[in-house]
A and B are shown apart, each in its own frame.
Chain A
């Protein structure tokens, strides 16, 4: 008992029922600064508590002196001999020895403890502030995929945020009356992480209430305990909508640049070849005319000038037209009934159709109309149907099928024939190039498909072909961003 009294870590003070100190252990000497000799015989509150703060203690002593059994612990500000104030945890209890009542006090200096606690509180506040204010969704899961923590950015509603702790995504989805598709997906991802012990990241896009697409970059990564087991999984998502938009813009610009570059190279080729060819002919003819002394020969040479000039003129006009198509970003699109537009185009091909007895079949039920510049669509029908007639098989009556189909917000128009076809293995890269002709035909100039592609490209669409030589060809045009 005595050893305990002397060696304990607490200050032990034995008082009579009025609070006069009778015993004062060495720890009490250290904590309060008073030696046992000085302390014994004094009222505890007189030497150890500041006047302004001894109320609760005195109240207790009073109760005790009135015969009540007290046993109380309080945190209270105490005072050292040097008047410095500090916090103690003071426990007082009754003890009756040999019929006499004593009060035994245990005091622990808790200044440090409180400082630590304050510090911890501040730290906690600091981290909570970060977690709560950071513009990032954060969720922390335990090893069983139950929520341990969710920050307000992830779930704004405080009630829901509290609800979700200890629950999983399935429970949450049910609580919010949502289907469990997202929960299923997240569970798969979670299991994947548990299996691979590696983080996963992905992008997901959702529509906000205003219909704007919001994209998040999400990461889920495991945190391991010292046994290398997954102790929790942290998930966070950052809103990268702006970056995404920027990226999309950049990609669009890049595509535009590269397509413009291709156009420039094409254009250079066109100028250096298609325009230069008639010019060379003209120069040579002029040269021969100059040198010729024979009148008949001169006449012959002069007669050859006109077709060359016409050729130059046509090529030049076609080039200018193709440039205009590329430059004309202002051309307005309208909703055009495919049936109407086709009939107008067929009107211009009446002679050719009746000459060969060609059959035209169409199916525009899936997409009745297309939003496109009317002039271009007319020219597209004219070119594609015109080609199908021009390059018909010598042994088959032309059968031309036109069809429109919806695919997402695009409409695919296809024009197929049973004509000569094109060997796409050989000509894949050149079918839409200017001046490319694949079959002997007096009116083949290699302009039609080039113009069609130029018009489709200019409107952001896509054109491609499938073909088997001597069986037929199908041309497809994708008209993008159509009304659904």
Chain B
């Protein structure tokens, strides 16, 4: 088993990226964080690594509001791709939106593990990372 948790952070806002990274670091887990500035970048990377399960993330943090391909569009593409990945990856929608409509919609999507409202706090990150075997 690899000694660190691989995390994909799909998020366009650089400050948010900085803050989430900082929060994860504070959890004291060994992590490898890969940042994608929009959904399309992430999808393109997944296409590259299909078949290389060792490169799959352990956990995905997905923002909703992004240019080019937003979180919703990413989820659609990702769901279609998921059977080819052959692995269930924990995926958390992390957004500053508190719209009940967004929450409902996100929770109804099969591949979404949970909906997290920002700010993301360290103890939550600890909890999520601990849950991974």
Residues on A facing B (Cβ under 8 Å) = 265, 268-269, 272-274, 276-277, 279-281, 283-285, 287-288, 304, 307-308, 426, 435-441, 444, 446
Contacts and interface: CB of A to CB of B under 8 A. Distances in A.
Given A269-B97, A272-B98, A274-B65, 4 more contacts: A277-B13, A284-B119, A287-B119, A441-B67
The secondary-structure label for the interface of chain B is loop
Nearest to B118: A280
Nearest to B99: A272
Nearest to A445: B67
B99 A280 contact: no
Contacts of A436: 70
Contact of A435 (B37, B38, B65, B68): B65
A304 B102 CA distance: 28
A173 to B, nearest CB: 60
B73 interface: yes
Residue with the greatest number of chain B CB neighbours at <10 A, chosen from A274, A281, A307, A444: A281
A306 to B, nearest CB: 10
A437 B99 contact: no
A426 B15 contact: no
Q: Across chains A and B, which 9 residue pairs bring their CB atoms closest together, nearest first? A: A437-B67, A277-B96, A273-B97, A276-B96, A280-B118, A272-B99, A272-B98, A280-B96, A284-B19
Interface in B1-37: 13, 15-16, 18-19, 22-23, 37
Given A273-B65, A273-B97, A284-B119, A440 B15 contact: no
B15 A304 contact: yes
Interface residues of B, number: 24
Given A281-B16, A285-B19, A437 B97 contact: no
A440 B37 contact: yes
Contacts of B118: 276-277, 280, 284
B5 to A, nearest CB: 21
Contact of B13 (A272, A281, A285, A288): A281
Nearest to B38: A440
Contact of A440 (B64, B68, B70, B96): B68
Interface of B: 13, 15-16, 18-19, 22-23, 37-38, 64-65, 67-68, 70, 73, 95-99, 101-102, 118-119
Residue with the greatest number of chain B CB neighbours at <10 A, chosen from A274, A280, A446: A280
B22 A288 contact: yes
A273 B99 contact: yes
A227 B118 CA distance: 81
Contact of A277 (B37, B65, B67): B65
A438 B67 contact: yes
Nearest to A304: B15
Contact of A437 (B15, B64, B68, B96): B68
A269 B105 CA distance: 14
Given A269-B97, A273-B96, A276-B97, A439 B68 contact: yes
A446 B99 CA distance: 19
B122 to A, nearest CB: 10
12 contacts: A272-B99, A272-B102, A273-B96, A276-B96, A281-B13, A281-B15, A284-B118, A287-B119, A437-B68, A438-B67, A439-B68, A441-B67
Contacts of B38: 440
Contacts of B13: 277, 281
Nearest to B63: A277
Contacts of A284: 19, 23, 118-119
A303 to B, nearest CB: 11
A304 B16 contact: no
Contacts of B67: 437-441, 444, 446
Nearest to B69: A426
A460 to B, nearest CB: 28
Contacts of B119: 280, 283-284, 287
A79 to B, nearest CB: 97
